[in-house]
Amino acid sequence: MSEGQDAARGFGARMQHENEAEFQARQKLAQKLAQIKHKILVMSGKGGVGKSTVAVNLASALAAKGKKVGLLDVDIHGPSLPTMLGLENSKVISLQNDIMPVELGNLRVMSLGLLLENPDQAVVWRGPMKISVIKQFLDNVVWGELDYLIIDSPPGTGDEPLSVCQYIGELDGALIVTTPQKVATVDVRKSVSFCKQINLKILGLVENMSGFACPNCGEITQILPPGGGRGIAESMNLPFLGAIPMDPQIALAADMGKPFLQQFAESASAKIMQEIIKPLLELN
């Protein structure tokens, strides 16, 4: 056999081996994902609109209903879930290739923030590195059986949400978080266009920072003309899931690392969050 034929045969064998390894990894992932009934991506057109706040609180609301919930933070550059859930000092246990999520009652949480030695460390990674971490989160985190996996995606329509969707394959859909201003329409449109391009169902739009909830009497005062989020949803034919006010107690709970819904269960904002999860509870 010539040298060229030898090299070609070696290359072929290597390719076959790699294909087999990839096939096995895919099968393992499929088995893992089959244990999770519903997978939901929480996204927003830009940062600071309260996407992580909404993700944490909806996950807590589902957990409070007795559902087993996983919360995966794929915001690689700004993982805020550990702070919001008071988990800054929690350590993730890993056994060989398995990474155990941190457990908070019915809620299992994984975030890059839980793996960083120093929370002030900036993560300076290019796309392929970020994608590889997201793949590891999906491949190696031992979620076990879950009713819901809520994925907190970084703002925008970049590598991270795309990788999650491509790698998981089938999600129930996306929740888009927006603020009420008309100018937010453009950002929502981009998220909607992203979902359409990758055939991801949009479960609905959540308006955050909608009016101001008085910490003394609970009354919600509209600051901007009301109905912004609903108007955006109607103009784009999206289900409107609800409007959460700007509520100092929401910010306080996040800063204290205490789930808002446990701390202020009787507040108007908590009741609104309970309403927003209703369509999620009805998913088949």
Q: Which residues bind ligand ADP (CB under 6 A)?
A: 44, 47-53, 80, 208-209, 244, 246-247, 250-251, 254
* C-beta closer to ligand ADP: residue 131 or 209: 209
- Dihedral angle, C-alpha 153, 155, 160, 165, nearest 10 °: 60
CB of 277 to ligand ADP, least distance (A): 16
CB of 147 to ligand ADP, least distance (A): 23
- Specify whether the CB–CB gap between 145 and 175 falls below 8 A: no
- Specify whether the CB–CB gap between 41 and 175 falls below 8 A: yes
* C-beta closer to ligand ADP: residue 53 or 111: 53
CB of 134 to ligand ADP, least distance (A): 17
Residue of this chain nearest to ligand ADP (CB atom): 50
Cα separation, 277 vs 271, whole angstroms: 10
- Specify whether the CB–CB gap between 164 and 74 falls below 8 A: yes
What is the maximal distance between C-alpha atoms in the chain? Answer: 87
Taking the alpha carbons at both ends of the chain, their separation in whole angstroms is 59
CB of 284 to ligand ADP, least distance (A): 29
* C-beta closer to ligand ADP: residue 134 or 209: 209
CB of 101 to ligand ADP, least distance (A): 20
* C-beta closer to ligand ADP: residue 102 or 213: 213
* C-beta closer to ligand ADP: residue 162 or 252: 252
User: 29: buried, middle or exposed (CB in 10 Å: 19+, 13-18, 0-12)?
Assistant: middle
